[in-house]
């Protein structure tokens, strides 16, 4: 079975949000159009406690974009975003959430970040998404969302590692591009591991 996976279509990642990704809002109409075409639609949601270690504000003298060691892992520091129960963490209001079967939250442990929808960044804990997909008989994923070079990329790489066939809906993703070329490099990383590039019009 094929499933559509929506990555972090949340207020804080769209224009006006705390960690806004350029044109992130343009993905919402695409998601709404695609959802009825799939038997199963799942979503991930960044869901951070306010004291999360990835927030620059929780480290004296640090700024967003700097890199630190967080419990043995290299960690990019971000603005405070997607705090549990906040407006910024909610899905964009225009998203047809009634079409989403199940939501998997990530980034809930203040000691480690979680870009991927499957695992934290150290692969120390699973979100349950992988097991759920296998229980439901899903073997092929269509992935879209925010951000191409972080949460989308690591979700896709983990899905491939777990044995799923993965299609990246390229026109339905937007990236952070902290460094010029990050998005292009992320796409190469995903395709070199087996992801197939598709467009929303092909689905």
**Residues with a known catalytic role:** 8, 106, 151
Residue in 129, 187, 199, 182 with CA at minimum distance from that of residue 157: 187
Which residues, including other chains, have CB under 8 Å from residue 123's CB and lie 6 or more apart? none
Query: How many C-alpha atoms does 149 have within 13 Å on its Cβ side?
Result: 13
Please state, in angstroms and rounded to a whole number, the distance separating the CA atoms of residues 147 and 115: 9
Question: 62 φ, ψ to 5°?
Answer: -100, 155
183 contacts 175 by C-beta, under 8 angstroms: yes
């Amino acid at each position: 079975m094929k499933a559509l996976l929506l990555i972090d279509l949340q207020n804080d990642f769209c224009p006006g949000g705390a960690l806004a990704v350029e044109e992130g809002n343009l993905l919402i109409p695409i998601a709404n159009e695609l959802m009825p075409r799939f038997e199963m639609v799942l979503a991930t949601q960044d869901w951070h406690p306010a004291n999360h270690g990835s927030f620059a504000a929780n480290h004296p003298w640090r700024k967003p974009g700097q890199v630190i060691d967080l419990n043995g892992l290299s960690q990019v520091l971000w603005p405070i975003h997607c705090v549990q129960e906040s407006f910024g963490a909610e899905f964009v209001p225009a998203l047809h959430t009634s079409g989403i079967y199940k939501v998997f939250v990530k980034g809930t442990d203040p000691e480690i970040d979680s870009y991927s929808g499957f695992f934290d960044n150290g692969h120390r804990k699973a979100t349950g998404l992988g097991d759920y997909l296998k229980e439901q008989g899903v073997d092929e994923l269509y992935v879209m969302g925010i951000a191409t070079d972080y949460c989308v990329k690591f979700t896709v790489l983990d899905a491939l590692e777990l044995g799923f066939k993965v299609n990246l809906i390229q026109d339905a993703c937007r990236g952070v591009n902290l460094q010029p070329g990050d998005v292009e490099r992320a796409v190469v990383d995903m395709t070199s591991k087996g992801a197939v590039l598709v467009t929303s019009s092909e689905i």
